Amino acid sequence: MLMRYLPLTDADRHLMLERIVVETVEDLFVDVPVSARLPGPLPTLPGHLAEFEVERIIGGLAAKNLTAATCPAFLGAGAYRHHVPASVDQLLLRGEFLTSYTPYQPEVSQGTLQSLFEFQTQVALLTGMEVANASMYDGASACVEAVMMANRITRRGKAIVSGGLHPHYRELVETMARSTGFVAQALPPGASLHETLVEHIDGETSCVVVQNPDFFGRLHDYTELAEACHAQGVLLVVAVTEVVSLGLIKSPGEMGADIVAAEGQGIGNALGFGGPHVGLFACKEKYLRQMPGRLCGQTVDAEGRRGYVLTLSTREQHIRREKATSNICTNSGLCALAFTIHLSLLGEVGLARLAELNHALATKFADMIAQIPGCRVRNDSFFNEFTVELPFPAAVLVEKMLAVPILAGVPVSRFYPDEPELENLLLVAVTELNTIQEMAAFVQGLREKL
């Protein structure tokens, strides 16, 4: 196999293969199906080139992409483009944060531990919960961890999954259910009415999983659902994909949620930063010892000085594997720090104003779209994202609007290709970075395509 752009000689490669008792490099990939392998090197790059020549070629390839940074974008569906102050990235570059990893030694990790402690405090306040952990991979993995935590607490093995839960979150729950042996009963897309969810609860149900705002952008008050769940010994898990919404809407904790799993990308983290982004996880204090991940705490030393420690580490690296609550092996520490810095800069008033601005712009945009004959806004409530019903497949509009150029939104059919009744639905998100001029260009383009 020709290894381009690697400094190994044939002799180096031969020694490495000999040491691991393998004859050829291709033998290392025998477990990968042939259909998933390339027959040779990618043709995009020619043979050996100088560094600046490679940069020129790659830069030309990147320039062909249409991104949210190069044209008006109304993309959402779980990842949102918000303004991140330059000071956030500048502070992340500090060596003690950028190069630090797991704070196993508290005596030399006070800065990292304090930032995680502040992060936990912020997440608890945002979600209205009593305790939060020191971050997780992303919102989707946090959601499935919440389900497995509910299974442990209730000693049951069935999760009722709302049709309004993000499809990626749903798929991850279903995948983990198949792998670990619990049952995930997912309702049809859009079926998020409280009474429908309650009707599916039985003696094996450990939790009901919902989202707010849901995948289609609708807002819900799950207070009554929480009461109905608790009456039958069932926990309520609330997922949040747009964390900025918590600056304006009723928090999951106020509604009676037992566990909250959220995606924190919208604060401090650009669309392409991370991947996974930063998972938020919070719960009631009485369930603390079943919570996955780490918990940082504040204490005092022998001389009465404030200090920070890892109060709870329930992973297999710290305790016996069979006692671990999760096999998550790290957190999203740098992404969590970005979240903490940005939210600290905003403050409570700033976050509320940011949320209000998002909602006001989305409301204006929804009114503009509703005036177009043949188009209908399906939501009776929303924060900064809503569903538009078109008279033709939404994927067609998205493709045509690229010529404007505008990233017009996300077709629901991309997530549910086998649901023809959802084919004409388009998810449209608006943030503080969208202007009235961009909205007008979208509306004009939509009129022309109609």
Give 128-168 pLDDT, tens digit per residue: 999 999 989 899 999 999 999 999 999 999 999 999 999 99
Listing from the earlier edge strand, what are the strands of the sheet with 131-132?
Answer: 131-132, 279-283, 259-263, 235-240, 205-211, 158-161, 183-186
The mean per-residue pLDDT over the stretch 316-328 comes to: 65
For residue 240, give the DSSP letter.
E
Contacts of 316 (CB under 8 A, 6+ apart): 324, 327
Residue 426, domain member (yes or no):
no
The mean per-residue pLDDT over the stretch 320-338 comes to: 76
Give 361-402 pLDDT, tens digit per residue: 999 999 999 999 999 999 999 999 999 999 999 999 999 999
What residue spans of 107-238 are helical by DSSP H? 110-127, 139-154, 167-180, 194-199, 223-231
Query: Quick check: 79 pLDDT over 50?
Result: yes
pLDDT bin (cut points 50, 70, 90) of residue 325 is confident
Residue 57, domain member (yes or no):
no
pLDDT bin (cut points 50, 70, 90) of residue 44 is confident
Residue 339, domain member (yes or no):
yes
Measuring CA to CA, which residue among 245, 285, 284 is closest to residue 262? 245
Query: Quick check: 83 pLDDT over 80?
Result: yes
pLDDT at 450: 83
pLDDT at 1: 46
Q: Give the global pTM.
A: 0.89
pLDDT bin (cut points 50, 70, 90) of residue 294 is confident
pLDDT bin (cut points 50, 70, 90) of residue 6 is confident
Query: Quick check: 331 pLDDT over 70?
Result: no
| SS3 category, 189 | coil
Higher-pLDDT residue of 34, 315: 34
The mean per-residue pLDDT over the stretch 285-308 comes to: 92
Residue 378, domain member (yes or no):
no
Q: Looking at the 3D structure of the chain, how many domains does it have?
A: 1
Query: Quick check: 10 pLDDT over 50?
Result: yes
| SS3 category, 338 | helix
Q: Of all residues in the chain, what percent carry a pLDDT higher than 70?
A: 93
Contacts of 184 (CB under 8 A, 6+ apart): 147, 158, 159, 161, 170, 173, 174, 176, 177
Cβ–Cβ under 8 Å, residues 159 and 206: yes
The mean per-residue pLDDT over the stretch 28-52 comes to: 84
Residue 61, domain member (yes or no):
no
The mean per-residue pLDDT over the stretch 268-275 comes to: 81
Sign of the alpha-carbon dihedral angle for 426, 382, 189, 144: positive
Residue 381, domain member (yes or no):
no
Query: Quick check: 19 pLDDT over 60?
Result: yes
Give 219-235 pLDDT, tens digit per residue: 999 999 999 999 999 99
Measuring CA to CA, which residue among 117, 193, 120, 180 is closest to residue 145? 180
The token pair at 165 is: 């839960």
- What does the DSSP assignment read for 88-137? HHHHHTSHHHHS------GGG-HHHHHHHHHHHHHHHHHHT-SEE-S-BS
Cβ–Cβ under 8 Å, residues 424 and 350: no
Query: Quick check: 316 pLDDT over 90?
Result: no
The CATH number assigned to the domain holding 173 equals 3.40.640.10
pLDDT at 156: 97
The token pair at 28 is: 């290392």
Residue 17, domain member (yes or no):
no
N-to-C CA span, the chain: 52
Residue 41: phi and psi, rounded to 5, are -65, 150
Measuring CA to CA, which residue among 405, 357, 385, 400 is closest to residue 68? 405
Give 52-72 pLDDT, tens digit per residue: 988 999 999 889 989 898 999
Determine the structural domain holding residue 96 and report its residue range: 86-343
Residue 442, domain member (yes or no):
no
Higher-pLDDT residue of 2, 263: 263
The mean per-residue pLDDT over the stretch 250-271 comes to: 96
The mean per-residue pLDDT over the stretch 307-313 comes to: 86
